[in-house]
Structure 1
Amino acid sequence: MPTISMFYGIIIRMYCAPGEHNPPHFHAYYQDHKSIIDINSCEIIEGTLPNKQLKLVVAWAEIHKDELIANWELAMNSELPFKIEPLK
């Protein structure tokens, strides 16, 4: 699962596999926490993140929603997603 962004100790990854379950999503990791975030709603589908890190991930996802959707389409075609600028 390629890493597409990293910021403030948070790692963002996306699977590259056709048929990956919907809705379009990405995986966020922070220390021992793991979560799956819906790209369209920017809400946690599964898992947990500390509140501070969740706010950072949601802000980043809202800024980069178009890029995340483009990466989802690449991943669904078994292509590697591109890197996305980290939150600064």
Structure 2
Amino acid sequence: MAENESIDGVPVTEEQIEAWTAEAEHGFDVDALKKRGRGRPGRGAAASQVIALRLTPDEVAALDARAAREHKTRSELIREALTALDA
């Protein structure tokens, strides 16, 4: 192993590599692995769709400034704006 190898800033030890090797050689529970969620959690019962949106640098700066002021994400602000269209 190369010196100073790390995962998320945590050094990887020879003992950790040996434990991973033993786990892999023993075999994995495939059913347990399939049960793990992948990606971000859903927002409701129906599947969500990702939509690409092009914004100018000024629009992104305005969105980010408002998001910081309101302690929200870009997505939250955009969803709120869309909801406001129905009001």
State the TM-score bracket (shorter-chain normalisation).
Answer: under 0.3
Q: For the pair shown, which has the larger CA radius of gyration, 1 or 2? A: 2
TM-score by length of 2: 0.25
TM-score by length of 1: 0.25
Q: When you count strand as a share of all residues, which structure comes out higher? A: 1
Q: When you count helix as a share of all residues, which structure comes out higher? A: 2
